[in-house]
């Protein structure tokens, strides 16, 4: 099983005050039963570092980035021109100002790697035709 990890999930795990924190922890604990292959993009990493840095401090953001980059569980997808053009096509197709280019890069990467499942709290993933991971409680 493959699973894409979005900024919303990473941040919910990092910030105990995030309204999705408890649900994110329950989902994370469910990985002990079935451990998927995790993927994310370097654009998500960029978004996370910026968000964590602004809300929880730069030191937390640097720790998060170092942990993510050295993780043996998370595969980092780096975009190339082909992926970026596919993401731009999706961005234009959806025409939703609330859907970010980073989201569309994730969608394009998921399609390219045949990933159907997202660990995300962002409902745009469902709109794009993907399934969001949920806890079993």
Residue 93 belongs to what domain range?
2-132
Query: For the chain, how big is the Rg over CA atoms in Å?
Result: 14
pLDDT tens digits along 3-22 = 999 999 999 999 999 999 99
CATH number at residue 103: 3.40.50.1010
Give the residue among 14, 100, 90, 21 at the shortest CA–CA distance from 55: 14
Report the chain's terminal Cα–Cα distance, integer Å: 21
- CA-closest candidate to residue 45, choices 98, 88, 7: 7
Q: Is residue 137 part of a domain?
A: no
Confidence band of 136 (pLDDT split at 50, 70, 90)? low
Mean pLDDT of 121-137: 89
How many domains is the chain partitioned into structurally?
1
Spell out the SS3 assignment of 3-32: EEECHHHHHHHHCCCCCCHHHHHHHHHHCC
Instruction: Answer whether residue 21 is part of any domain.
Output: yes
> Does residue 70 form part of some domain?
yes
């Amino acid at each position: 099983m493959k699973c894409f990890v979005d900024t919303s999930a990473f941040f919910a795990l990092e910030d105990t005050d995030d309204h999705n924190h408890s649900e994110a922890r329950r989902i994370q604990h469910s990985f002990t039963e079935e451990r998927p292959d995790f993927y994310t993009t370097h654009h998500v990493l960029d978004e996370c570092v910026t968000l964590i840095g602004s809300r929880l401090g730069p030191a937390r953001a640097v720790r998060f980035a170092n942990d993510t980059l050295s993780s043996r569980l998370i595969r980092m997808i780096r975009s190339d021109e082909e992926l970026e053009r596919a993401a731009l096509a999706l961005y234009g197709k959806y025409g939703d100002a609330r859907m970010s280019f980073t989201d569309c890069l994730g969608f394009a990467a998921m399609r390219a790697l045949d990933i159907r499942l997202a660990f995300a709290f962002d409902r745009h993933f469902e709109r794009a035709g993907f399934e969001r991971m949920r806890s079993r409680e």
